[in-house]
């Protein structure tokens, strides 16, 4: 039974915008109540589970995700993540690091919002997905690749994990699931992602509950069900038969 002082993190039964905070709590081995709300089925995808509680939780700005930490009740995903970062000493060791952590949280949020537009709002999904993967995503990946190279640390800001890492990994992973590429042009990003997946504090969670939860709501055009990264095989050039005679006029 949960303690009265135990943290309560409320969100849809998806990874979405709350998973960075879940990852942080799992990493720090903090007991918390993972309050999950489910969407109804198509075509309405009703939100009754949430709406029936929305105005009874004492939230000043009722929304998902929310965090109840004793008498403190918060909504907004980035606010929750940075609150947890401060609470568990994951917001850097000085003002410069804290500012860079906040920058990376905002930067990765921009990427996730671009992905949201593809997954939820695209009319011609395949065309919009292709443009995102071919044009939008590479711009973001190059920025993160360059930052990792310039900073020269094990993680995005320092040699120890910060709140920014939980969000950056999670939102990059959402893009990885959509992408058919292997990201070979971004070796620093790829190594960063693999190192995060191998964290002993998170490996079990990443391979179980995390892997079994969809990244988006069931009404999304992508990610409403659990998906795996599928790398598109590159077409091999046609083999030339050296014995074949050239055509005659």
Section 172-190 average pLDDT: 96
Q: Indicate the pLDDT class of residue 147, thresholds 50, 70 and 90.
A: very high
Q: Indicate the pLDDT class of residue 180, thresholds 50, 70 and 90.
A: confident
Those residues with Cβ within 8 angstroms of residue 144's Cβ, 6 or more apart along the chain or in another chain: 156, 168, 172, 186, 188, 189
SS3 217: coil
Residues 75-87 pLDDT 10s: 999 999 999 999 9
Radius of gyration of the chain from Cα atoms? 21
Evaluate if residue 141 carries a pLDDT over 90: yes
Section 168-176 average pLDDT: 98
Q: Which domains does the chain have, with CATH numbers?
A: 7-88 (1.20.1050.130), 95-207 (1.20.1050.10)
Those residues with Cβ within 8 angstroms of residue 214's Cβ, 6 or more apart along the chain or in another chain: 14, 15, 223, 224, 225, 226, 227
Residues 17-52 pLDDT 10s: 999 999 999 999 999 999 999 999 999 999 999 999
Residue 55: other Cβ atoms inside 10 A: 9
- Please state, rounded to an integer, the average pLDDT across all residues of the chain: 93
**Pairing verdict, β 7-12 and 32-37:** parallel
Q: Round to whole Å and give the CA distance between 153 and 17.
A: 26
* pLDDT of 229: 87
Token pair 């990003």 is at which residue?
189
């Amino acid at each position: 039974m949960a303690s009265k002082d135990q943290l309560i993190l409320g969100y849809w039964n998806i990874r979405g915008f709350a998973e960075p905070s879940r990852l942080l709590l799992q990493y720090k081995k903090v007991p918390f109540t993972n309050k999950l709300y489910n969407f109804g089925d198509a075509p309405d995808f009703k939100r009754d589970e949430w709406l029936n509680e929305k105005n009874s939780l004492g939230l000043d700005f009722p929304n998902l995700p929310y965090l109840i930490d004793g008498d403190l009740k918060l909504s907004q995903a980035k606010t929750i993540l940075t609150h947890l970062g401060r609470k568990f000493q994951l917001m850097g060791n000085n003002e410069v690091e804290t500012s860079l952590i906040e920058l990376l949280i905002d930067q990765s949020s921009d990427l996730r919002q671009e992905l949201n537009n593809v997954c939820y709002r695209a009319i011609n999904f395949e065309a919009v997905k292709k443009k995102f993967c071919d044009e939008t995503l590479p711009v973001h990946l190059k920025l993160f690749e360059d930052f990792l190279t310039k900073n020269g640390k094990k993680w995005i800001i320092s040699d120890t994990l910060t709140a920014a890492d939980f969000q950056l990994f999670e939102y990059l992973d959402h893009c990885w699931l959509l992408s058919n590429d292997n990201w070979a042009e971004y070796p620093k990003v790829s190594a960063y992602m693999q190192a995060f997946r191998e964290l002993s504090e998170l490996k079990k969670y990443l391979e179980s509950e995390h892997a079994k939860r969809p990244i988006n709501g069931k009404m999304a055009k992508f990610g409403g069900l659990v998906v795996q990264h599928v790398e598109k095989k590159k077409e091999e050039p046609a083999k030339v038969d050296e014995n074949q005679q050239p055509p005659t006029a």
